Amino acid sequence: MLKVKLKQVAVVSAVLSALGISGAVVADDEKTFFQVLARAQVEMVNASGDIPDLTGEDGFHITDAWGNGRPNSHNWSGLFLDAGHKITDGLEVFGRYSFNFNMDGLPDGRAKYRDNYIGVRGDFGAVRAGRLESPYKLAGLGWDPMNATSLQARMNAGRSGGALGHGGFHNDSVDYNVTMNGIKFSAFYSRGDGGPSGPNQNSMYAGSIMVPVGNVELLLAHFDADDRGAGKRDGTKLGARYQEGAWTFAGQYEFRGTGVDNGDYLFLTGAYKAAIGQLSLSYGRFMDDSIAKTDGDYVAAGLMRRLSPNFAYHAGVRYTDRDSIGSETLVGVGFRFTWQNRMSW
């Protein structure tokens, strides 16, 4: 009879879990695994200014992240069920089924799901098919120290958001990921284009490359979701991150087509790992190329500290300003809880 081993595994980071790559390695004598990962974020924030007044969200909130003047946007919480079976020493089949939830509960429609897929991986890399995140989104996503919190840059004039930016998932997709000599390549195709279905539905292509050069990491990412009559729906992202001791500095620049944001994003951030936790200061700017000229600025200062593998907290302040729309100031504190259990046999 098969002996089932129960293991408590610490979560390396939210980014790794979102990628669907397990931080634990299946031992040579263990062919099959099943893993449950649950994570929840609770934030207590106060929003003030023209933007929350306009959206009706001014005042105190209990939320899971914040974006575009609204709570529970581009959030962190989720439930992930992962499984895999080792066919040979160099080949494994694996899959994931996951749910998205926030402080309002389980969203309606497709938003209730995160990434759901099946795939194979080995020395050649990994191939997945199902509901996936694009390489454009994932490349450098965690470079924002406050990503997936109410202080994040995406959807707050500092970085792009949505399914064709640093958010969302794509159904009917396939991707290929491989790392060679430390260089990470990713290629992606989706039968849909990130918008609602209909006669104008197109397909989407995306890719990214991340190259380490000493203490520096460089990235290039691109997507093309064709044209829906409102202009080219494409984007290109360039970035670099430098790490030295307790210091980390990163920057990225996005060129966004007329059919998406019709403008460019600049994002800069610096972080220092102190005894009390990671201190960060970030700045972003959106440069609108449309007639509306709703340029935007983003500034955030935050502290994030992990007290154990299962618990962390953060606090800080964010300021967003959009021309012709107004500003938003958000102050808050948040808590992250993680639980993970792995069975292998």
Residue labelled with tokens 């059919």: 259
Terminal CA-CA length for the chain: 10
Q: What local confidence, expressed as pLDDT, does residue 192 receive?
A: 79
pLDDT of residue 198: 57
The whole-angstrom separation of Cα 14 and Cα 133 is: 14
Token output for 168: 């969302």
| Number of independent structural domains in the chain | 1
Predicted pLDDT at 197: 60
How far, in Å, CA of 300 to CA of 334, rounded? 15
Query: Domain residues for 244?
Result: 5-344
Spatial distance between the Cα atoms of 38 and 33, rounded to a whole number of angstroms: 17
| pTM metric for this prediction | 0.89
The pLDDT tens digits along the chain (345 residues) read: 444 444 444 433 443 444 444 444 444 578 999 999 999 999 999 999 999 999 999 999 999 999 999 999 999 999 999 999 999 999 999 999 999 999 999 999 889 999 999 999 999 999 999 999 999 999 999 999 999 999 999 999 999 999 999 999 999 999 999 999 999 999 999 997 766 665 567 899 999 999 999 999 999 999 999 887 678 899 999 999 999 999 999 999 999 999 999 999 999 999 999 999 999 999 999 999 988 889 999 999 999 999 999 999 999 999 999 998 999 999 999 999 999 999 999
CA distance 79 to 74: 15
Alpha carbon distance 104, 73 (integer Å): 11
Q: Which of 175, 179, 248, 180 is nearest to 207 (CA)?
A: 175
Confidence at residue 233, expressed as pLDDT on a 0 to 100 scale: 92
- State the pLDDT at residue 220: 98
**The one-letter amino acid at 64:** D
Q: What is the helix (H) or strand (E) element at residue 14, kind and residue range?
A: helix 14-19
d(CA 193, CA 169): 11
Tell me how many degrees the CA angle 267-113-196 measures, rounded to the nearest 5. 75
In sequence order, the β-bridge partners of residue 315 are 303, 333
150: closest CA among 280, 277, 42? 42
Query: What is the rounded CA–CA span in Å between residue 342 and residue 345?
Result: 10
d(CA 83, CA 79): 14
Our measurement of the distance from residue 94's CA atom to the centroid of its chain's CA atoms, rounded to an integer in Å, reads 21
CATH number at residue 162: 2.40.160.10
